[in-house]
Amino acid sequence: MKAFTQINGLVCPIDRANVDTDAIIPKQFLKSIKRSGFGPYLFDEWRYTNYGEPGMDCSTRPINPDFALNQARYQGAQVMLARDNFGCGSSREHAPWAIEDQGFRVIIAPSFADIFFNNCYKNGILPIVADAAVVDRLFKECQANEGYKLNVDLSSQTVTLPSGDSFTFEITPTRKHNLLNGLDEIGLTLQHADEIKAFEVKHKASQPWLFA
Amino acid sequence: MAGKTLYDKLWDSHVVHEESDGTCLIYIDRHLVHEVTSPQAFEGLRMAGRKPWRADTLVANPDHNTPTKDWDKGIEDPISRLQVETLDSNIKETGALVYFPFKHANQGIIHVIGPENGTTLPGMTVVCGDSHTSTHGAFGALAHGIGTSEVEHVMATQTLIAKKSKRMLVKVDGQLGKGVTAKDVALAVIGKIGTAGGTGYAIEFGGEVIRALTMEGRMTICNMAIEAGARAGIIAPDEKTAEYLKGRQYAPKPEQWEQAVAYWNTLKSDADAVFDCVVELKGEEIAPQVTWGTSPEQVLPIGATVPDPAKEVDTTKRTSIENALKYMGLAANTPIEKIKVDKVFIGSCTNSRIEDLRAAASVAKGKKVAGNVVLAMVVPGSGQVKRQAEAEGLDKVFIEAGFEWREPGCSMCLAMNSDRLSAGERCASTSNRNFEGRQGPGGRTHLVSPEMAAAAAIAGHFVDVRSL
C-alpha cells in the first residue's frame, strides 16, 4: 500500500450524512477491470448534471456549480470533511480508489461504515473518526475561511487546525505501522505461512467436510 | 466467566494469529467471487507472481452485469462483456470449486447459488467482495463483505486481517401477523436502530420470530444486516438449517453428516453469554414496511404518512428528510398508500428465492398488473430457482398477471445491466437499497417485501397486503 506520514492539506466539505458508496462512485463505473482512473467520476451524479458513462471525457461535461468539488476554492483538496456514516452501503473498493485518484489522502467524519473504513487503509487513505462537535467546528471554519487547511500527522496521531488548536485520533498500532511504512500486507501475512498451514491441519481434523 | 456468543465461537475457531493490539489473521473457509470486485484482485496476484492458496474454496459466478433477457444475444454492452469474460479467464487460470459461467443452467446471484449448492455451511467463515455476503450468516456462518484488496489477500493467504467486532443481539419474539415477512422484520429493525446502528457490530438475530422463519426468510434478514451497518448478521443453525442442507451437492457427505450436525449443534450463544447491545422487537407490532426516502432507515409501516421535515428539530436530520423528499418527488404528510408506482421489481439477493416468488405469485394469482405500471418484472435468483418456479407454474401466474418473467441475475437491484429506472420513475422493489440513483439515475426506489411489491403492481400504488 501507499505510505502515509503527514500532510498539510486543503479541506473540502461534503456536508451530507449517510453518504453511500453508490453516491461516491455510481455502478456504471464499476464495469472497469482497472483500479485507477476513477477520480473524474467521484460523486458523479452530484458533480455533473448529465449522466456519466465509463470512458467519458469529464472536462466537457456540464457541472453542478453548487457541489463543493466543483468550486475553485476547493481545487486540490487533500482532506475530505464528511458527516456521519460516511461510505455506507456497497463494499466497492472503487469508492476509495476514486477518492484517492481525485487527490484525497484523509477523510474526517464523526463515523464511517465498517467496510469502507477498512478499504481506505488498503489504499493509503487515512480515515479519521472525530467528535461530532469537532467535525461541526471544522465544517464551520472551513466554510468561513477560503484556503482552510488542516495538518494531519499520523505518527503523533494529531490533527492541527490553522488556529493552532489540535485534536488526536485513534488508530490501531498495526494499521499505523503498516500505513506509515506503506507495507505490503499480503507479504506480511505470508510470513505467517507456517501458522496458516498448522491451522489448516487442526481445522481439517475437526471439520473434515470443509476440505472436500 | 461469562459464556460465549455464537459470534465469539465462530471467531475463536478461525483465529490463526493474533497481534498484541487484537488485530488477527482469520482463516477463511469459503470465498465467493463475482465479476465486478475481483478483476483487480486477480491482476494483483498475477503482478506479484502469487497463486491462490486454496482454489478449492472459490465459488464463482458472474451476476451483476448479466442481462435478464435475450440471452441468445449475449452481453451487448462491450464493457460489461469484457468484465464477465475476464472472470471466465481468471477462473480458468486459477480453478475453483464451483464456477457457473454466464448462461450456465445453475448461474445466478452469488448469494443465492452459494447456499443452494451447499457451499455455505454452519461454522464457516465466508467472504465475498460484496456487502450482501452477510446473507450467508443465516446458516450460522461468519459471513461478511470485503473490499477488492482483501479479495486479493484472501486468495493469496486464505486469511483476512481483522479485528473482532462488538456483539449485538436483535431479539424478535412473539409471532408475525399474516402478510408480514422477514423483509418487514429487517426493515423494522433498520428503522429502529438506523443504518449506522450496527456499525462496529456483528448482529445475532434470535427470538421466536427468527426461529419460526424458513431458511429463505433467515437469509433475507441476514442479507439486510449490512443496511443496518453491521457487516455480519448471524442466526444459530438448527434442525431447519440441517434439513435445508441435507443432500445438497457440496454439503457434508453421508459418512460425515452426523459429525457435522453434532458440531453445528454447538453453534449457538451460551445461555450466559453477554452481548454489548441488545435490541428487542415484538413480532405482533411489525406491520408491512415501505421505505419512503433514500436510505433504508427512512422506512414506515404501510398505514403511515410520509414525514414532515418541519417537525424535525435536529438540523442534519431535517436536511436529510428534505433532500430525500425532494429526490423522491414526495410531499410531506402524503399517505404511503397514495403513492403510485411506475415499475415493480421482484428479485435481488434479498428476495429472489423460491419462497419469495411463491409469496408474490400468491398475491398476483388471477389478477392483472395495473394500467399505470409500465413494467413489472420477476427475476429469479438462480437457474435452480427459475426451474423450480416453472415446475410449480409460478411463471405462468406472473405472465398471466402481466409480469415479465426473466433470466436470473442481480438485475435492477443495482442496474448494472440494462434493467433500470429512468429519471423520475418510481419503483416498488424487493431489493435492499433505496439510495439515490441505485436503480438508475434519478430513479425512485421504495423497498418492500415480495407480497407488498406484487400487491403494488396489481393496485398501481402501495397497498396493505393484509387488506387483500
Provide the shortest C-alpha distance from residue B175 to chain A (in Å): 30
pLDDT in tens, B327-345: 999 999 999 999 999 999 9
Q: Which residues pair with A108 in a beta bridge?
A: A81, A128
Provide the shortest C-alpha distance from residue A51 to chain B (in Å): 7
Contacts of A96 in chain B (CB under 8 A): 147
Cα gap B453→B430, rounded to integer Å: 7
**B 430-459 residues inside an 8 A Cβ radius of A:** 433, 435-438, 441
Q: Is B168 helix (H, G, I), strand (E, B) or coil?
A: strand
pLDDT in tens, B191-231: 999 999 999 999 999 999 999 999 999 999 999 999 999 99
pLDDT over 80 at A188, yes or no = yes
Cα gap A20→A90, rounded to integer Å: 8
**Interchain contact, A114 vs B253, CB within 8 Å:** no
Cα gap B224→B215, rounded to integer Å: 14
Contacts of A173 in chain B (CB under 8 A): 19-21
DSSP code of residue A74: G
pLDDT on residue B316: 80
**A 120-179 residues inside an 8 A Cβ radius of B:** 122-123, 172-175
| A22 part of contact set with chain B, CB < 8 Å | yes
Contacts of B121 in chain A (CB under 8 A): 209-210
Q: Which of B62, B454, B294, B34 has the alpha carbon at shortest distance from A46? A: B294
Q: What is the pLDDT along chain B (468 residues), one digit of tens a residue?
A: 789 999 999 999 999 999 999 999 999 999 999 999 999 999 999 999 999 999 999 999 999 999 999 999 999 999 999 999 999 999 999 999 999 999 999 999 999 999 999 999 999 999 999 999 999 999 999 999 999 999 999 999 999 999 999 999 999 999 999 999 999 999 999 999 999 999 999 999 999 999 999 999 999 999 999 999 999 999 999 999 999 999 999 999 999 999 999 999 999 999 999 999 999 999 999 999 999 999 999 999 999 999 999 999 988 889 999 999 999 999 999 999 999 999 999 999 999 999 999 999 999 999 999 999 999 999 999 999 999 999 999 999 999 999 999 999 999 999 999 999 999 999 999 999 999 999 999 999 999 999 999 999 999 999 999 998
**Interchain contact, B157 vs A91, CB within 8 Å:** no
**Looking at chain A, which runs of residues are DSSP E strands?**
6-13, 79-81, 106-109, 126-129, 149-153, 158-160, 166-168
Among the partner residues B17, B43, B86, nearest to A192 by beta-carbon distance: B17
Among the partner residues A54, A85, A189, nearest to B25 by beta-carbon distance: A189
Residue of chain B whose alpha carbon sits nearest to that of A200: B27
Among the partner residues A18, A35, A90, nearest to B195 by beta-carbon distance: A18
Cα gap B77→B417, rounded to integer Å: 8
A43 φ/ψ angles, rounded to the nearest 5 degrees = 55, 40
pLDDT in tens, B128-139: 999 999 999 999
pLDDT on residue B208: 98
**Interchain contact, A172 vs B77, CB within 8 Å:** no
Q: E strand or H helix at A162, and its extent?
A: none
pLDDT on residue B164: 97
